[in-house]
Amino acid sequence: MTTPVRFTADEDPEGRTVLAVHGEIDMSNAAEFDQALRAALERGRPLLVDLTATGYLDSAALAVLFEHASSLSLRIDRTLRTLLSICGLSDLVPVEVVARP
């Protein structure tokens, strides 16, 4: 069973909308993830998707990220770096890799 996912959207000091994702994203909640991304994009600011509190993405989650690749950037920790590199998403989207606190 998937860990419940939670989304929070705030503005950072650089004027970007930061959509923080807390929990795993898979086919059971990918549509919810897509809706959260669309709502964040409607704010009309550059969008940073913060996946540092996300330890797992399946192909449905990756499909959502590919769909919106031209409109966002990502913040991840090292856990997701290899996955994004293998699937090619890190070639399309600006990716900031940070260490977990």
- Per-residue model confidence (pLDDT) at position 99: 84
Range of the domain at 73: 6-97
Query: Does the pTM exceed 0.85?
Result: yes
The verdict on residue 61 lying in a domain is yes
The verdict on residue 91 lying in a domain is yes
- Per-residue model confidence (pLDDT) at position 87: 96
Q: What is the CATH number of the domain that holds 53?
A: 3.30.750.24
The verdict on residue 1 lying in a domain is no
- Per-residue model confidence (pLDDT) at position 101: 61
- Per-residue model confidence (pLDDT) at position 55: 87
Which residues, other chains included, contact 25 with Cβ-Cβ below 8 Å and sequence gap of 6+? 5, 33, 54, 56, 57, 58, 60, 61, 64
- Per-residue model confidence (pLDDT) at position 69: 97
- List per-residue pLDDT tens for the chain, 101 residues long: 456 899 999 999 999 999 999 999 999 999 999 999 999 999 999 999 999 999 899 999 999 999 999 999 999 998 899 999 999 999 999 999 998 66
The verdict on residue 51 lying in a domain is yes
